[in-house]
Amino acid sequence: MRRYLIIGFITVFVLVFGFGAWAVFTRIAGAVVGIGVVEVETKRQVVQHATGGVVGKILAKEGQEVKAGQTLIVFDDTFDRAELKVIESQLFPLLGMRARLTAEQDEAETPAFDPELLERAKTNTTDAEIVRAQTELLKARRLTRDQQIDQLKERQTQVNRQIEGLTSRIEGLDKQIELIQGDLKGQQELLAKGLTQRARVTALERDLAEAQGNKEEANASISESKARIAEIQLALINVSAQMREEAIKELNETDARVTELRERRNTILETLSRIEVKAPMSGKVFNTQIHAVRQVVRAAEPIMEIVPANVKLVISVQIPPMQIDQVHVGQKAVIRFETFDRRHTPDLQGTVRRVSADIITNERTGQSFYTVQLTINPGEEKFLGPQAEIIPGMPVEAFIQTTERTPFDYLVRPLTSYFGRSMLER
């Protein structure tokens, strides 16, 4: 019996002191576990369009390699081109009219047409007809005005001739009146002496009154003629002024309409200049949202993503805030790919490359975390084998190695922390 007690005490002694020695002297490495995904070192570019549209052609599909500037999709431009045609059918005739109205306003010999209209007129018969028609209309309107001016000037010449005739008649009447007055004076003296008859004096007085009446009538006619000349001169001024006033009025209305149509046209041309969606960078098409022609793309809606070509892959994991103090740049890490078969795929060695400077909060879940970026150590990927390819988006579990501690420290640390906090309580 005593023998068994001795053996039991020895066994307990060996177990207790053996475990104690192991707990004190053995070093165990800890780890901070992070969950994340594989990412590209250069972020993938989301392809968007400012205004959107209806898909007309699909030139790039999921997984296709594309180069920067390569066309990915083309929007249907049928509606925009039809609207552009309607606007231009109104705009360019107005531009021709504006050139003609400006020439009428400035009394220029020929219209100064818009350069774009002249350029289009070289190849477009409709625009060439606009230029020709407005040029001919300016000539016709100017000819009509000149004819009106010539007619008024002819009338003015005729009236001036009438005035000249009336002036000559007045001069003749003045001489006639002077002669009659001389005869009348002599007959009145003879009548006073009884040397002539009263009828003779009366006849001369009648002739004098008639001559004076004719003179007054001629003077009145001259006044009327001068009034007609004034009217003709005013009409001459009004012919040119009226043409200019009409041109100015129409020009103001035309300018407003031209401005409106130009703005609408520029908007459509801007839209047409963006019907092709081009790759912002070289890489591989990923996560495309375009699957069929006639599909509607809304403004700023993600169309697809471009994963940069020939860039280094990195691991991005999320670390809880309570453990971030144990993570720093340069730490070793074990990286495990959840997608691969664990039986045939080993864990890879990596290194902490970057730790986010501040905490990040997921607005959807409300979860807070720090982002830690890891890189796979050179030469590690060869252990995956030819069939296991690391691609962006793969889920990853990372074990970031922390400071080595003894098992005894793991056992005692919770107790010391508890008693340390309890001593602070009042």
Q: What is the 3-state secondary structure (H, E, C) of 24-66?
A: HHCCEEEEEEEEEEEEECCCCEEECCCCCEEEEEECCCCCCEE
Query: Is 11 inside a domain boundary?
Result: no
Query: Is 297 inside a domain boundary?
Result: yes
Average pLDDT of 171-194?
85
pLDDT of residue 395: 92
Nearest to residue 37, comparing CAs of 347, 357, 339, 377? 339
| Res. 270: pLDDT tops 60 | yes
Contact between 83 and 268 (Cβ < 8 Å): yes
Instruction: Please tell me which residue, 30 or 196, carries the higher pLDDT value.
Output: 196
Q: Do 255 and 364 lie in a common domain?
A: no
pLDDT in tens, 23-63: 444 555 678 899 999 887 777 789 999 889 999 999 999 98
Query: Is 283 inside a domain boundary?
Result: yes
Distances (CA, A) of 106 to 65, 112, 226, 245, 351: 62, 11, 32, 11, 80
Q: Is 110 helix (H, G, I), strand (E, B) or coil?
A: coil
Neighbouring C-alpha atoms within 13 Å toward the C-beta of 232: 19
Specify the CATH number for the domain of residue 96. Answer: 1.10.287
pLDDT of residue 23: 46
Average pLDDT of 372-382?
88
d(CA 117, CA 110): 15
Q: What angle, rounded to 10 degrees, do the helices at 2-25 and 407-424 form?
A: 80
Q: Do 91 and 179 lie in a common domain?
A: yes
pLDDT of residue 63: 86
Q: Do 151 and 103 lie in a common domain?
A: yes
Average pLDDT of 60-70?
92
Q: Do 64 and 92 lie in a common domain?
A: no
Number of helical (H) and strand (E) elements in the chain, helices listed first: 6, 15
Q: Do 233 and 88 lie in a common domain?
A: yes
pLDDT of residue 107: 86
Nearest to residue 252, comparing CAs of 18, 94, 71? 94
Average pLDDT of 124-129?
94
Instruction: Please tell me which residue, 192 or 70, carries the higher pLDDT value.
Output: 70
pLDDT in tens, 392-403: 888 999 999 886
- Rounded percentage of the chain residues whose pLDDT exceeds 70: 87
Instruction: Please tell me which residue, 407 or 350, carries the higher pLDDT value.
Output: 350
What backbone torsions phi and psi does residue 337 show, to the nearest 5 degrees? -95, 115
Identify which of 103-112, 138-147, 256-265, 344-353 has the greatest average pLDDT.
256-265
DSSP 146-214: HHHHHHHHHHHHHHHHHHHHHHHHHHHHHHHHHHHHHHHHHHHHHHHHT-S-HHHHHHHHHHHHHHHHH
Query: Is 4 inside a domain boundary?
Result: no
Q: Do 107 and 206 lie in a common domain?
A: yes
* First CA to last CA distance, the chain: 55
Query: Is 158 inside a domain boundary?
Result: yes
pLDDT in tens, 105-115: 888 889 999 99
Q: Do 37 and 49 lie in a common domain?
A: no
Strand order of the β-sheet with 283-286 is 45-47, 304-308, 283-286, 65-66
Q: 365's torsion region: left (phi>0), alpha (psi -120 to 50) or beta?
A: alpha
Q: Do 267 and 336 lie in a common domain?
A: no
| Res. 10: pLDDT tops 60 | yes
Q: Do 51 and 87 lie in a common domain?
A: no
Average pLDDT of 278-282?
91
Contact between 412 and 34 (Cβ < 8 Å): no
Lowest mean pLDDT: which of 206-210, 320-324, 354-358, 419-423? Answer: 419-423
Average pLDDT, the chain: 85
Query: Is 175 inside a domain boundary?
Result: yes
Nearest to residue 111, comparing CAs of 78, 137, 85, 74? 137
Tokens of 390: 């690391």
Q: Do 116 and 231 lie in a common domain?
A: yes
What lies within 8 Å, CB to CB, of 325 at 6+ separation is none
pLDDT in tens, 316-337: 999 999 989 889 999 999 999 8
Q: Do 323 and 409 lie in a common domain?
A: yes
Specify the CATH number for the domain of residue 345. Answer: 2.40.30.170
Give the domain extent around 334.
23-41+312-424
- Rounded percentage of the chain residues whose pLDDT exceeds 90: 42
Q: Identify the domain boundary among 254, 273, 292.
A: 273
Identify which of 104-108, 310-314, 390-394 has the greatest average pLDDT.
104-108
Long-range contacts of 238-243 (CB under 8 A, 24+ apart): 239/145, 239/148, 239/149, 239/152, 240/107, 240/145, 240/149, 243/104, 243/141, 243/145
pLDDT of residue 318: 93
pLDDT of residue 426: 46
pLDDT of residue 411: 57
Specify the CATH number for the domain of residue 289. Answer: 2.40.50.100
d(CA 388, CA 394): 12
d(CA 178, CA 106): 57
Query: Is 18 inside a domain boundary?
Result: no
d(CA 207, CA 191): 17
Domain count, the chain: 3
Q: Do 335 and 412 lie in a common domain?
A: yes
Instruction: Please tell me which residue, 2 or 193, carries the higher pLDDT value.
Output: 193
Instruction: Label residue 198 by pLDDT band (50, 70, 90).
Output: confident
Query: Is 412 inside a domain boundary?
Result: yes
pLDDT in tens, 345-359: 788 899 999 999 899
Contact between 165 and 210 (Cβ < 8 Å): no
Q: What angle, rounded to 10 degrees, do the helices at 78-106 and 198-273 form?
A: 150
Contact between 338 and 312 (Cβ < 8 Å): no
